[in-house]
Amino acid sequence: MDLLIAAFLGLIEGLTEFLPVSSTGHLLLASHFLGFESAGKTFEVVIQLGAVLAIAVVYFAKLWQVFSTIHKDPASLRFVISVALAFLPAAVVGVLAHDFIKTVLFETPRLIAIMLILGGVVLLFIDRMAPEPEHFDATALPFRKALLIGVAQCLAMVPGVSRSGSTIVGALFLRVEKRAAAEFSFFLSLPTMAAAVGYDLLKNRDVLDFSAWSQIGIGFTLAFVTGVIVVKGLLDFVSRHGYAVFGWWRIIVGGVALALLSLGF
């Protein structure tokens, strides 16, 4: 893999990880059409850490405030419990279905394209038909609704569905305001992505290939930088424009991918 492909894939990861468009779907389709595959998916796994770092950097002050006051502030403790509850379903399903997801679902480009299109239709629907919001603070969601958002996140085990998309759609159905839904998805991404990357590395430790450090470094750096930009800009964007643009993007990308696959690419 040359440096240009590494930079391109890192850019895709950073730009799409926190948008409801499926970063995994975009990465897998791009890798398929570029004819790229790293041993044990090392490159694809490691550059996701750049996106994790982006969230940690942007929300460092907030996270520090929460964890430094968790022993004395009920609101901080409640917030940590709500994120932990939302993380739990994906942790269980991810461990139980890991091998099937990686060896079957991740190797089916046509399924990924179809999921992109279907997810786009769902986003267009929810953007217009979401119930009136009742919750406007991502750090103060009821435990039951946090857990249900976590259940919705499990749909993202199918590549092309989108982790952020499934959590945001679930939150909107549960009457969480658009901006708060995106922000809770950010917070939930920290344990979810960190655990997923760690588990992937553990499961594939025997076939990992870290020889291409320069390519991994470029991909990681671009994923981090673009991830920071997206995180900083997304909340204001969805507050003003909603999620319809991401729905149309998914439909276009999925449709183009299906057309190329039908042509034998």
**Domains of the chain, residue spans:** 3-262
Phi and psi torsions of 73, nearest 5°: -115, 110
**133: DSSP letter:** P
Q: Are 4 and 44 in contact (CB under 8 A)?
A: no
Radius of gyration of the chain (CA): 18
pLDDT tens per residue across all 265 residues of the chain = 577 888 899 999 999 988 999 888 898 898 888 887 765 566 777 788 888 899 999 999 999 999 999 989 999 999 999 999 999 999 998 878 766 766 666 668 898 999 999 999 999 999 888 889 999 999 999 999 999 999 999 998 888 888 899 999 999 999 999 999 999 999 999 999 888 878 777 776 666 666 667 888 898 999 999 999 998 888 889 888 889 999 999 999 999 999 999 888 8
Tell the residue number behind the tokens 């590395």, with chain if given: 201
pLDDT tens column, 138-180: 999 999 999 999 999 999 888 888 889 999 999 999 999 999 9
Give the chain's length.
265
Spatial CB neighbours of 195, under 8 Å, sequence gap ≥ 6: 87, 91, 94
DSSP labels, 141-155: --HHHHHHHHHHHGG
**243: DSSP letter:** S
Task: Tell me the whole-structure pTM to 2 decimals.
Answer: 0.87
